[in-house]
Structures are given as C-alpha cells and as structure tokens.
Amino acid sequence: MLEPTIKTTATYQRDRETVIALTQKLVRIESVYRENDPHGNEQEVANYVAQYLRASGIKTFVEEVVPGRPNVIGIIDSGKPGKTLLFEGHTDVVTEGNREAWTYDPFGAEIIDGRMYGRGTNDTKGNLACMITACQSLLLDGEEFTGKIILCIPCDEEGLMLGIKHFIRKGWADGVDGAIICEPQENNVCIAQRGAIRLQVDIFGKMAHGAISWSGINPNWRMARLIVELEKLEKEEQARLGRDPMLNWPSITPTILRAPVKGDAQINVIPDHCMTTLDIRTVPAQDHDELLGKIDAIIQRLQADDPDFKVELTVLDNRPATATAKEQPVVQAIYEAVAEVTQKEPIYNGVPGATDGTFLHVHGIPIVTIGAGDRELPHQIDEYVDIEELAETTAIYRLAALKFLAGDA
C-alpha cells in the first residue's frame, strides 16, 4: 500500500481552496502605484489584508510608509521561547501596460485550464496569499511550535523598496533568525540574488539650431560615447568574472534615454540636456564601490578628452548581491519541505533580480527566496500562475515554518 503524501491530506485540500480564493481577491484589487491616484496604490489591498489577518486571529499592525502606501505586519507568537521566522511578500504590482494587449482582464484573476491570469498572480500576490494561507493553516490545525512568525507585507517593492526599509528602520526585523522571501521562483530554493545599482546620468550641452551645430554643444554625442564605454565595461566584467552558476552574468543596461529632458523635442534643435538611467545588476564577486570607481574613471577619461563634456552622476539605489549558505537552518527547512511536499529533489538556484530580501540580508538575516510561478514571467503581458503550484507552495511554507520552529535548535 502506498504511503500517504502531504498532497492527499485534508489540510492540503482545504488550503488549496483557500489560497486560490485569496489570490483571486488580492489580484482583483488594483495596487499599481499611480501617483496622486487614491485608487492606484497599495492602500486598498493593504486594508483588505489587515482585515483578513485579524479575522484569522493574527495580531496585526498597519504602518503608513508614505501617504496611501502602508505596510502590514502580522505576528503569530507561540508564547514559547524560540527562533523568529519572517515571511515577506509585497502588495504592490507593476503596471499592466496596454490593457488591450491582454488576452484576459489583467485584474480579473480568471482561471483558464488550470492557470490564473492577472497582474500579480505570479509577482507576487499569489505567493503573498500562500504565506498568509500557510500561517492561517497552522492556527486552524492548532499546530505546536516555538518562537514566533512575523508576516512582513510591505509596499513599494517594485520601486525603491521604501516599505522594507521602513519595516527595518522601525525595528521589526530585529531578532529575526531567518526569512523566507515569497517570490516566483518555480519553487526552486534560491540562496543567491543579484545586486542592483541604479544610476541617473545627466549630460549638459548648449541648445542650438541643428543646421548650425557648431554654435551649440550636443550632449547626445557625449552620451553616445559614454554608453559605448559602458558596454565595453560590461564585457570586461563578464570576461573577468565568468558566468555565475546561479545568477548568470553581471550586466550594465541603459534603460531610459531622454533628450531634451524638459520641453518638447524637435528634429532641427540640438537639446541642452540628455539623460539616461542605468540598471546595473551585479553578482556576489563584484564590489559595488569598485565598480562605481570604474564608471567614474571612464567619465574622467572622457572629460579629459573633451572640455565640453559636462556630466552629473546620481546614485538612485545601491543594493548588494546576496548569498546564503546551504547550511543555514532556514535554507535547510525550506529544502526539506520542498522534498517532502513535491516528492522530488529540490533545486538550488539564484534570483535573477533583486528583492526586498536584499535589505534583510544587509540587516544580518539569513534569507531564502522561493515561491510559485515561472521565474521569467514577472511583468509580462498575460501574467499567470498555475493554481496547483499555489497549493504546493502553501504546503511548502507551512511545513518549512514547522521545521524551522520545531524547538530543537
């Protein structure tokens, strides 16, 4: 006779239905950050989550980070001494873009052929629902554990991560022994993530008629030279470091390119100002200060060759790459939970982007990132999550919490 598995239990089936319904509810509440739009931020979904947690018997706090953008914090305290485990999942989602390009309503959370479609199903409202359902399940079943669980549900993960910074600054992360970052990683056990440096580069010139170019100073030529040099630097870094086994290649990516920065562009007018932004992604072997020094050296070299090269470099964000040892208890708890729930050998991997976990790592907390959803699907049109994977992830989170808080360490 076959041994029963976690997926055959009544708890699993109950939690499956709960997490599907909760994910649908969260996705249907739009929480794209839209400036000056009271219906276009995290306030409504945060209010719903707070009410849901309180109805589940979870002590809940709501803290406004900036107007209309609150964090929600849930606390489940066993009343027994032990470790503290943190689950983290954010409430904001990126823009849906052109709604007409979607096959399904981006905020409809429709289920078609075993998949739920909508913005946030994958990144990361589905996984937020998983972590809430997993903790609710522990309470419903009266599971015994030691220590406490903190549910960290911040705003602004998709922006400058104001929510997690506020959470840490207010002391909520103090004393946490391990954190599970709930992001779409196909339930791979992700123990590394790329760092991020966001730069704004402004180059200034002199406005003039395009037919009388010698009377102006064209910032576009200077920006072009800089971008070419940055591409060379990217290739040098890739050759120097090689391909990281979990994170692939370090990269330097120009994203926004704008000239003029203010006012209307015109084909026969040389702009007085050109701006680009750089999305730089790093691997643990890179030192951010050293990399910024190399970029500064490029700028100084270009300026030495051109007295009209006037540039300002602004660091918008600077988050280090992270790496967590496989031996960390939180990693071991997740690894064992994945093996038991899926009946498969877990896969160690890395996160291609940065998460709120970066700042928890800097705070000294061992982190592991795992969750339902295709790793390459975030921010795409027709975003979706497999509903069976939601159920599986919920069971993984539930079991990992019990293992981590078992009271044997």
Q: Write out the chain's pLDDT in tens, 409 residues.
A: 345 799 999 999 999 999 999 999 999 999 998 877 766 689 999 999 999 999 999 999 999 999 999 999 999 999 999 999 999 999 999 999 999 999 999 999 999 999 999 999 999 999 999 999 999 999 999 999 999 999 999 999 998 899 999 999 999 999 999 999 999 999 999 999 999 999 999 999 999 999 999 999 999 999 999 999 999 999 999 999 999 999 999 999 999 999 999 999 999 999 999 999 999 999 999 999 999 999 999 999 999 999 999 999 999 999 999 999 999 999 999 999 999 999 999 999 999 888 999 999 999 999 999 999 999 999 999 999 999 999 999 999 999 999 999 965 4
Report the Cα 369 to chain-centroid distance in Å. Answer: 10
Both tokens of residue 235? 């290739």
Dihedral of CA atoms 134, 122, 70, 356 in degrees, nearest 10, equals 90
Predicted confidence at residue 409, as pLDDT, reads 43
Based on its alpha-carbon atoms, the radius of gyration of the chain, rounded to whole angstroms, reads 24
Pairing of strands 269-270, 208-209: antiparallel
Predicted confidence at residue 39, as pLDDT, reads 64
**How many other CB atoms sit within 10 Å of the CB of residue 255?**
9
Give the whole-angstrom CA distance, residue 399 versus residue 392: 11
Quick check: 286 and 321 in contact, CB under 8 A?
yes
Predicted confidence at residue 141, as pLDDT, reads 97
Both tokens of residue 162? 């104001």
Residue type, 123: D
CATH number of 6-193+321-405: 3.40.630.10
Pairing of strands 178-181, 367-369: parallel
Predicted confidence at residue 360, as pLDDT, reads 98
Q: Closest by alpha carbon to 82, among 221, 173, 177, 162?
A: 177
- Residue spans per domain, the chain: 6-193+321-405, 195-319
Quick check: 54 and 137 in contact, CB under 8 A?
no
Give the whole-angstrom CA distance, residue 317 versus residue 89: 21
Q: Closest by alpha carbon to 212, among 261, 270, 274, 263?
A: 270
Q: Closest by alpha carbon to 392, among 7, 1, 2?
A: 7
**How many other CB atoms sit within 10 Å of the CB of residue 127?**
35
Q: How far is CA 131 from CA 95, 180, 390, 396, in A?
A: 23, 9, 10, 9
Give the whole-angstrom CA distance, residue 31 versus residue 42: 5
38 prior amide bond cis, ω within 30? no
Which CATH entry fits the domain spanning 195-319: 3.30.460.80, 3.30.70.2740, 3.30.70.360, 3.40.50.300? 3.30.70.360
Quick check: 76 and 397 in contact, CB under 8 A?
no
Predicted confidence at residue 159, as pLDDT, reads 86
Q: Closest by alpha carbon to 308, among 216, 227, 397?
A: 216
Pairing of strands 273-282, 251-258: antiparallel
Dihedral of CA atoms 328, 330, 336, 341 in degrees, nearest 10, equals -160
**How many other CB atoms sit within 10 Å of the CB of residue 50?**
19
- Determine the length of the chain: 409
